[in-house]
């Protein structure tokens, strides 16, 4: 049996022990910091002067919550989508450069061909999404 496949054969609950320990440590540190802050923190009574918003020495005027154009949110969501999709290019590039043939692929040439076709499909979908965004004029700011 191939040693690489043997390493992934046993995925029992014991394999997740380091993740569980890290989770317990993280939650424990957070809870400890909150408790120490509550225990030693200064307790101050609130009043109107302390609770009022203060901006550079100028009293605020108008409503604190103003409405923004939906374009800001569309651009933010599009940025996140395309940014996450680009992140998928890094593992592909690493595996493409040094991948070894496995039991699924008989040779390295087959693996490289498969990875290349998969990336062409991925980039085509990415380009079609970008084309749709430009066609819908989601990035035009004249109407904002």
Please report whether residue 108 resides in a domain. Answer: yes
**What are the phi and psi torsion angles at 85 (to 5°)?**
-65, -35
CATH number of the domain that residue 124 is part of: 1.20.58
Measured between alpha carbons, how far is 110 from 11 in angstroms, rounded to an integer? 28
Residue 122 sits in which domain range?
Answer: 3-135
Label residue 1 by pLDDT band (50, 70, 90): very low
Angle at 18 between CA 12 and CA 23, to 5 degrees: 115
**How many angstroms from the chain centroid is the CA of residue 54?**
33
**Residue that is written with structure tokens 């995925």 in the block:** 11
In tens, the pLDDT along 84-120 reads 887 878 777 776 666 555 667 677 778 778 888 888 9
Number of domains in the chain: 1
Q: Is residue 144 part of a domain?
A: no
What confidence score (pLDDT) does residue 25 get? 98
On whether residue 141 sits in a domain, the answer given is no
41 occurs within a structural domain: yes
pTM, to two decimals: 0.46
- Higher-confidence residue of 12 and 71: namely 71
């Amino acid at each position: 049996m191939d040693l690489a496949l043997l390493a992934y054969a046993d995925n029992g609950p014991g394999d997740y022990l380091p993740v569980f320990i890290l989770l317990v440590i993280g939650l424990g540190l957070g809870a400890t910091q909150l408790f120490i802050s509550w225990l030693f923190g200064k307790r101050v009574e609130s009043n109107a002067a302390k609770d009022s918003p203060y901006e550079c020495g100028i009293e605020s005027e108008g409503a604190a919550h103003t409405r923004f154009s939906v374009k800001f949110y569309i651009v933010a969501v599009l940025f996140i989508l395309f940014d996450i999709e680009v992140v998928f290019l890094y593992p592909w590039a690493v595996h493409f450069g040094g991948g070894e043939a496995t039991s699924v692929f008989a040779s390295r040439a087959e693996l490289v061909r498969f990875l290349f076709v998969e990336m062409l499909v991925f980039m085509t979908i990415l380009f079609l999404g970008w084309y749709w965004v430009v066609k819908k004029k989601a990035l035009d700011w004249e109407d904002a």
